[in-house]
Chain A
Amino acid sequence: MEKTMEPALAVSDLNVEILGENGAFPVVSEMSLSVRAGETVCIVGESGCGKSMTALSLLRLLPDGARVASGSIRIHGEDFLAMDRRKVEDFRGDKIAMIFQEPLSALNPVLTIGEQIAESVRQHRRLGRREAFARAVKCLELVQMPDPERRARQYPHELSGGMRQRAMIALALACEPKIIIADEPTTALDVTVQAQILGLISDLQKRLGTAQILITHDLGVVAEIADRVIVMYAGRRVEECSVYELFENPIHPYTIGLMGAVPHRDRSKAAPERLTDIPGTVPPLWDLPKGCAFAPRCPGASARCLEERPPFIEKKPGHFAACWEHDNA
């Protein structure tokens, strides 16, 4: 991608908070990211790290009780957070769309697949019912749904998990948005179906040149599909770099810990007897430690790590991380 190209989606200094009983606490802090056309950025982290909240805020779909406290989201240069509701609804589906994790709960159970896609098309395009339905069938063809004519007339419960996820993707692509946010799109699927859906997502991106943000907890999925990766922990970015750099030279102890914690097949090395586990658990977001949020679990934490939060800075060209100890190492 050319460096001069304007990013399709640019987020800067985004802070999202949840209003709890004892006041507001941050769930996403100082989040910045940008995605260009044709690029896939993966946000990876464990439950509660703020990755899904980031995704929802990008579509202004945050649940009640959560709100964007500050920051900006620009879609094709336009300020998304400043838009009124009408404009947001115009943008959603048309310019930016989302693929959810659980298609069975994200799809409407009382409308056929075809009706749902047609409904979304008619929201944004001046098309008649019949034309919109024909467009829906075309979308289902695009996602390689077997027997699309028939499937368009079926309800979500009549489809298998893999087909539902295809329908979900077809729905997201119906108006040819230039930005796709996918939140754990293959987590609910069996591994053989996951492979098909990952194949489909990357095929479609090559053909349509969309900018993609993919949220996942699975480093295997990251390795298969990402161009760039952001690792999140306790609501913050802890590392960001190209996917190759991440797997070859990870900097942050949390990233390194995650890589060692996943059992996976690497035939070039002898199988490890034990996995490197990360002791303890993720701290609750309403009670974060004072310094680096990872310090209490970190094997290399110093006194400074417990006191002061490390800044998220460029450690090597194109490779960002938030860690004090890396500089000393």
Chain B
Amino acid sequence: MPDAAAPLLSVENLKVHFAIRSGVFQRQVGEVKAVDGVSFSIGPGETLGLVGESGCGKSTTGLALMGLVKATEGQIAMQGAEDVTQMRSIPRSYRRRMQIIFPDPFSSLNPRQRVRDIIRAPLDIHGIGTIEERRAEVAKLMSLVGLRPDQADNFPHQFSGGQRQRIGIARALALKPDIIVCDEPVSALDVSVQAQILNLLGDLQKELGLSYLFISHDLGVVEHVSHRVAVMYLGKIVETGSKDTIFTKPLHPYSELLLRSAPAHDPRQRHKFSAVSDDIPSATRKPLGCAFHTRCPLATDICRQIEPRLEHKADGQSVACHHR
């Protein structure tokens, strides 16, 4: 379907379940539904922000997309590819078009490898170009991300955190992917450096027409980079919409809570934060019905029994809530 509005990537009903094993015989005693039926699509040149708190499954979603954790179920389709593929076995041709940037630039680079070899590795693996071409490509990639090509022989420890994240970005760009999964790419960095990396990602998107799945817990960052936003809670997307609708008129009570909890950056408009603790469940003990009902001011009997489905409202905004 060569359609102008066709998404670059669409993911249907992605599930990642992990077995909980225990005892001498490692028998399965339970299951963590880290990602439990997530669907989304990303258009060419678009950034989808995936936001949620720790344990909501946002990073697992990104890893499953890259085949770095095995999906339990789900389909994936990419523009230009023939068929819809099962998420369990993503073919190499797909992987070449998707790359990932990891959150921690200190542990995601091999300390024993020179930067040149780190950035070149994807080209070696996929057998692209001659040795000479690869070398030239590494130099090009390094200048593209703002590193000096003459530092190619250095090791990761000779770089600062921000520079290391640039190395990670250069590695992700090596295969000329269409889409990059940015998994908390700035959360380990200081704010001044964080801004450098966010600006770089923005510039690269404009220059190369990249799409991003931008995974973050930081609402300020997500609002800054995203075109569309999906809010995740305990393995499910509870609301999606354009950035403006999510940040100005969220419908899901969890999205509202998130926005209400973000510090204001204006001492004249301080929040009256409530000190009261609420009952925060985890993926291992997920409540029945709507997973958010234990914390929700709107919860009624139906929420405790029936899980709401993600339903389309207006302006491309969808929400999973019985009361909205």
Residues of B within 8 A of A281 (CB): 160-163, 193
CB nearest to A163 among chain B residues: B277
B85 interface residue per 8 A CB criterion: no
With A195-B273, A220-B265, A243-B267: A258-B220 Cβ-Cβ less than 8 Å? no
Contacts of B221 in A (CB 8 A): 263
A38 within 8 A of B: no
**How many interface residues does chain A have, given as a range?**
35 or more
Q: Are the C-beta atoms of A191 and B219 separated by less than 8 Å?
A: yes
Contact B274 A199 (CB under 8 A): yes
The stretch of B34-42, B177-185, B255-263 in contact with A is B255-263
B interface size (C-beta, 8 A): 48
Is B266 positioned at the interface, with any CB of A under 8 Å from its CB? yes
B274 touching A247 by the CB < 8 A rule? Answer: no
Within 8 A of B (CB), among A78-108: none
Which of A144, A224, A257 meets B263, CB within 8 Å?
A224
Q: Which of B195-250 contact A (CB under 8 A)?
A: 195-196, 198-199, 202, 217, 219-221, 223-225, 247-248
Q: Does B108 contact A (CB under 8 A)?
A: no
Q: Is the CB of B263 within 8 A of A275?
A: no
From the candidates A146, A224, A226, A258, name the one contacting B191 in the complex (CB within 8 A). A258
Residue numbers in B under 8 Å from A217 (CB-CB): 190-191
Do the beta carbons of A144 and B219 come within 8 Å of each other?
no
A-B contact count, CB below 8 Å? Answer: 141
Q: Verify A264–B220 contact, CB threshold 8 A.
A: yes
Given A192-B53, A258-B192, also A275-B224 (CB < 8 A): yes
A172 to B202, CA, bound (A): 44
Using CB atoms, name the residue of chain A closest to B51.
A191
A119 at the interface (CB under 8 A from B): no
Q: Are B195 and A220 in contact (CB under 8 A)?
A: no
**Nearest CB on A from B245, distance (A):** 14
Q: Is B112 interfacial (CB 8 A cutoff)?
A: no
Contacts of A273 in B (CB 8 A): 202
Q: Are B190 and A191 in contact (CB under 8 A)?
A: no
Q: Is the interface of B mostly helix, strand, loop or mixed?
A: helix
For the complex, is B125 an interface residue (Cβ under 8 Å from A)?
Answer: no
User: Chain B contacts of A200 at CB under 8 A?
Assistant: 275
Say yes or no: is A20 at the interface (Cβ < 8 Å to chain B): no
The reply to whether A190 and B53 form a contact with Cβ atoms under 8 Å apart is yes
Q: Is B72 engaged at the interface, CB distance under 8 Å to the other chain?
A: no
A180-195 interface with B by 8 A CB criterion: 190-195
Is residue B280 contacting chain A, with contact meaning CB distance below 8 A? yes
Tell whether B271 is near chain A: CB-to-CB under 8 Å.
yes
Q: Complex formed: what's the CA distance from A146 to B192 in Å?
A: 38
Cβ-based interface call for A276 (8 A): yes
Selected from B194, B224, B263, the residue in CB contact (under 8 A) with A223 is B263
Chain A residues, Cβ within 8 Å of B219:
191, 265
Contact residue among B195, B270, B275 (Cβ-Cβ distance under 8 Å from A224): B270
Given contacts A191-B219, A195-B271, A217-B190, contact A162 B195 (CB under 8 A): no
With A and B bound together, what is the CA distance between A144 and B278 in angstroms?
A: 10
- Residue on A with the closest CB to B54? A190
- Of chain A, the residue at the smallest CB distance from B163 is A281
Q: Which residue of B lies closest to A188 (CB)?
A: B54
Q: Is the CB of A247 within 8 A of B277?
A: no
Q: Are B160 and A191 in contact (CB under 8 A)?
A: no
Which residues of the partner chain B approach A278 to less than 8 Å between Cβ atoms?
192, 195-196
7 A-B pairs with C-beta separation under 8 A:
A193-B280, A196-B275, A196-B276, A199-B272, A261-B194, A277-B192, A278-B196
Chain B residues proximal to chain A, CB less than 8 Å = 53-54, 160-163, 190-196, 198-199, 202, 217, 219-221, 223-225, 247-248, 257-258, 260-268, 270-280, 282
Known: A46-B191, A166-B277, A198-B273; 13 extra A-B contacts, CB below 8 A, are: A46-B190, A163-B277, A190-B53, A192-B258, A197-B275, A199-B274, A199-B276, A223-B267, A224-B263, A277-B195, A279-B196, A281-B161, A281-B193
